[in-house]
Structure 1
């Protein structure tokens, strides 16, 4: 069993009141949580990585629960995303370990979430920042929820670490006006519309 020893977590919360236009009736909240863990595969090639995803499931659930708390509860959360960042001794495939533990944890806790969880992955050194893409939890075609949240940790990821991130949002972009599928039109059957 690989050891993904947790070094630290950080929580980011944004309340957006306006974006150059009128002040919104209700601010939009976005929150993200990152975790820095030891990368047990750093510096070497390992053929079978997939089974290690199970070892990260408790981390995904813990981070999801903390995010829901930071969001002020589950009501109204309608956007989500995830990201992974490998330190310099890691490889991009190590960040893919986060697909199941991160994505399914949020889908499980948020209930009827149908849409795929948007994701970004990359490799970088200490202080590297990453954008977590955001999308609507039930319909990928809801343009008002296309967004991203940038996160980073000043002292990570170290060469032998992985940074895993989750993000959630409540509401579309402030002043969204690009048309497309509207939230009230979402059928929530196939994850697209």
Structure 2
């Protein structure tokens, strides 16, 4: 398979103090990292593309490390995660699906015992396209307080022959989460759901 060629990285971290309610004692952070890479399959149909997932694994690990470092609170502080991809117009949605395995497993590996499936989204778009990356708790997808999303995009990407691959992490619930459901403190940790 072809080598992974990165044109640029973008890292975004938000610290949320309040959303109209009382200021948080420990403001949660939402962060995302984007790697803009060349799409080796752009402009033509290629039947066998799965080998590129293996090539993307080192990039996934590098991005997860960079994002953990940018968040500034260490691995133990990460409570939520998600991933996604924006494929340039000369590519196809299936090219974005190549990011599922390397992106998800990279975060799960670095975060230790993360059990929940990493939520994901993908789309085809032009430069400047933005995407909402879904986020759930790293150990239990049913923890309602951690249902969230991070909007991200890159002004000049993806070009038609590129992909923007994305990882997202949070350090807590929504700042004023109060809609009930399974609490993070009550996670059983058996199946990635509860």
* Band of TM-score, shorter chain: over 0.9
- Give the match's secondary structure for 2:181: coil
Gaps of 5+ in 2: none
CA deviation string 1:118-160 (max 9, x = no partner): 0000000010001111000000000000000000001110000
Q: For the residues of structure 2 that align with 1:98 and 1:16, how far apart are their CA atoms?
A: 28
CA deviation string 1:102-129 (max 9, x = no partner): 0000000000000000000000001000
What is residue 165 of structure 1 aligned with on the other side? 166
TM-score normalised by L of structure 1: 0.99
What is residue 34 of structure 2 aligned with on the other side? 34
Task: List structure 1 runs of 4+ shifted beyond 4 angstroms.
Answer: none
Gaps of 5+ in 1: none
CA RMSD across the alignment: 0.7
TM-score normalised by L of structure 2: 0.98
How far is 1:172 from its partner? 0.3
Q: For the residues of structure 2 that align with 1:84 and 1:176, how far apart are their CA atoms?
A: 27
* 8 A Cα contact 1:134 1:168, kept in partner: yes
* 8 A Cα contact 1:85 1:123, kept in partner: yes
Aligned pairs (5 A) from 1:15-54: 15-54=15-54
What is residue 134 of structure 1 aligned with on the other side? 135
